[in-house]
Structure 1
Amino acid sequence: MARVRFIGPEPVRVPELGDRTVEPDEVVKVPDERFDGYVCQPAAWEAVEEPKAATAKKTAAKTPQKTEG
């Protein structure tokens, strides 16, 4: 599971996390497949720990392709 920090000014109820209330500056675990849904809201959430699968994909994308010439 990935982790994100809530950086909003007031507590917020998050139904996806079992209808719990998340306090400002609280770090919570979120499902890896939903990580992007949180960090795409930079006024409310910031990444703390990216999903392991996303890290593997980024590493693979950085590998240069060899071309024959």
Structure 2
Amino acid sequence: MARVRYIGAEPVTVPELGNRLVQPDEIVEVPDQRFDGYVCQPAVWEGIEEPKDEKPAAALKKPTPAAKAASSSKEG
């Protein structure tokens, strides 16, 4: 599980965490696959501990050598 800190000004109820009430400056654990959904809101959430097993999105989008060869053979 990843960890984020709530930096908003008022307590907030987070339905994804079982309707948990999160207080300002509180650190909570969130599912690894949802980490980006929190840290993309920098006005209210701060990343504390990133997911350990998740590969960066850019690495997942790289074409394989076979895919590169197939696309370059179609261009000519």
Give the TM-score, by structure 1 length: 0.78
Deviation of 1:33 (Å): 0.3
Which consecutive unaligned segments of at least 5 residues does structure 2 have? 60-76
Q: Which residue of the partner structure matches residue 40 of structure 1?
A: 40
Q: Which residue of the partner structure matches residue 3 of structure 2?
A: 3
Q: Write out the 4+ residue segments of structure 1 that deviate beyond 4 Å after TM superposition.
A: none
- Greater relative contact order structure (CA < 8 Å, 6+ sep): 1
Mark the structure with the bigger radius of gyration.
2
User: Match for 1:16: what amino acid?
Assistant: E
Work out the percentage of aligned pairs sharing the same amino acid: 74
**Does residue 21 of the first structure (1) align with residue 14 of the second (2)?**
no
Q: Which residue of the partner structure matches residue 51 of structure 1?
A: 51
Distance 2:45 2:22 in 1: 11
Computed over aligned residues only, the root mean square deviation of the Cα atoms, in angstroms, reads 1.0
**How big is each residue's C-alpha offset from its partner over 1:4-56, in whole Å with a ceiling of 9 and x where there is no partner?**
000000000000001010000000000000000000000000000000023xx
How many residues were matched structurally? Answer: 57
Which consecutive unaligned segments of at least 5 residues does structure 1 have? 62-69
Give the TM-score, by structure 2 length: 0.71
